Amino acid sequence: MRLKKLTALSFVIGLALAVTIGYATTTLAADASKSASDTSWKFHTIVDTDFVMQQIKVPMPENIMLIDARPKRAKYDKGHIPMAVSIPDMQFNKLTNKLPKDKNALLIFYCGGPT
């Protein structure tokens, strides 16, 4: 009788452990694939200089903004593309008032590239 209870208890503990591990593995895998595939918030499109040259005109169209995302004092002040607005990436949340009111405006960001 005692052996049957011990066997049954072992079976229940093993089953509970298997279900818990299976759930945890499935949840972790789903979270990993979700975060790995959802990069839409990072950028929309990476473009080349030919695209930028086609968009930038003098005077600058109202529905386009060229944004220099480099540090202002260290990089922007030493040289930038004419008509570019300085919104350093580290201060972006503080300087959103510089962005155009038109939410459909084309925003072209540039920086020093990968370092």
Give the tens place of pLDDT for each residue, 78-87: 999 889 999 9
Comparing 5-9, 21-25, 60-64, the range with the smallest average pLDDT is 21-25
Q: How many angstroms separate the CA atoms of 27 and 102, rounded?
A: 40
Q: How far apart are CA 100 and CA 32, in angstroms?
A: 35
Q: How many Cα neighbours within 13 Å face the side chain of 89?
A: 9
Q: How confident is the model at residue 55 (pLDDT cuts 50, 70, 90)?
A: confident
Cβ partners under 8 Å of residue 60, min gap 6: 66, 83
Q: Which residues contact 71 (CB under 8 A, 6 or more apart)?
A: 88, 90
